[in-house]
Amino acid sequence: MLHRSILVLLSSLILAASGVALADTVKIQVVSSYDFPGTDISYTLGGAIANNGTIAGIFAKENGRVGGYERRANGDFSRAILFPGSSVTSAYGVNSAGVVSGTFISDADHGFFYDRGRYTQYDVPGAIHTNVTGLNDAGDFCGFWFTDAVVITPFLNVGGALISFSIPGIDVVYARAINNLGQVAGGYVDPSNPSVEHGFLRDADGTLTYPLDFPDS
């Protein structure tokens, strides 16, 4: 059920109560929260947002069924996005035209696109598992593919041309999002410590910037 909540920094309240002037950096955020419609929904996650405010994400039912959704800027939801025959459908990307990208699971992981009730499957040629994650307004998209989960390879598709790429010395790389400039963002597993992940940025010309780590993380 749509509701609005006001999040105020605790430190702001403490300063105000003590009569200390608040710094200019203190902000009050008004945040809209929402849930996918239904009485049996256990959780709702937002996965991506387009420039026009359309959101794509994932919901789960109490029976364990996982599906995707599209929420438009006016608050209207699409029907549940459930790829036919799949046990899990996850929506990870959306563009301003309302096209949703994601991954469904049946015999393996497969990428898909959803456009006003129409589903299109996408698999990287020769790959057993394909995950489609990000999508931009030009219809370019990104994701990752693998055969045995030991080596996970990121890719992007620009104008119908498939481009797989790698980070030197890294076996597990996930491409997560692509913007209208053709830049791809994602993460990779540190080969010296598999419990550690780092971020990366790939520019449209192929230049890689990594690692991208939040300070002290």
What pLDDT shows up at residue 17? 43
Whole-angstrom Cα distance, residue 49 to residue 67? 17
The predicted model scores a pTM of 0.82
Whole-angstrom Cα distance, residue 49 to residue 63? 27
DSSP-assigned letter for residue 77: B
Domains of the chain: 1-33 (no CATH), 35-212 (2.120.10.30)
Strand partners, 152: 146, 172
Beta carbons within 10 angstroms of residue 50's beta carbon: 22
Structure tokens at 16: 């105000």
Residue-wise pLDDT for 98-126, tens only, equals: 999 999 999 999 999 999 999 999 999 99
Percentages helix, strand, coil for the chain (3-state, rounded to 5) are: 5, 50, 45
Whole-angstrom Cα distance, residue 46 to residue 70? 9
Whole-angstrom Cα distance, residue 204 to residue 188? 19
Q: Look-up: residue for tokens 């929904």? A: 41
Whole-angstrom Cα distance, residue 175 to residue 155? 7
Q: What is the dihedral of CA 59, 139, 98, 125, to 10 degrees?
A: -40
What pLDDT shows up at residue 27? 74
Averaged pLDDT for residues 62-79: 94
Residue-wise pLDDT for 173-209, tens only, equals: 999 999 999 999 999 999 999 999 999 999 999 999 9
CA 30 to chain centre: 23
Question: For 69-87, b where at least 16 C-beta lie within 10 A, e where not — what string?
Answer: bbbeeeeebbebbbbeebe
Residue-wise pLDDT for 6-32, tens only, equals: 333 333 433 344 444 444 567 767 667
Question: For 178-188, b where at least 16 C-beta lie within 10 A, e where not — what string?
Answer: beeebbbbbbb
Averaged pLDDT for residues 158-165: 96
Residue of 160, 162, 144 whose CA lies nearest to 152? 144
Contact 92/57 with Cβ under 8 angstroms?
no
Beta carbons within 10 angstroms of residue 96's beta carbon: 13
CA neighbours closer than 13 Å in the CB half-sphere of residue 47:
28
pLDDT of 72 over the 80 cut: yes
Q: What is the dihedral of CA 57, 92, 215, 164, to 10 degrees?
A: 180
Whole-angstrom Cα distance, residue 44 to residue 46? 7
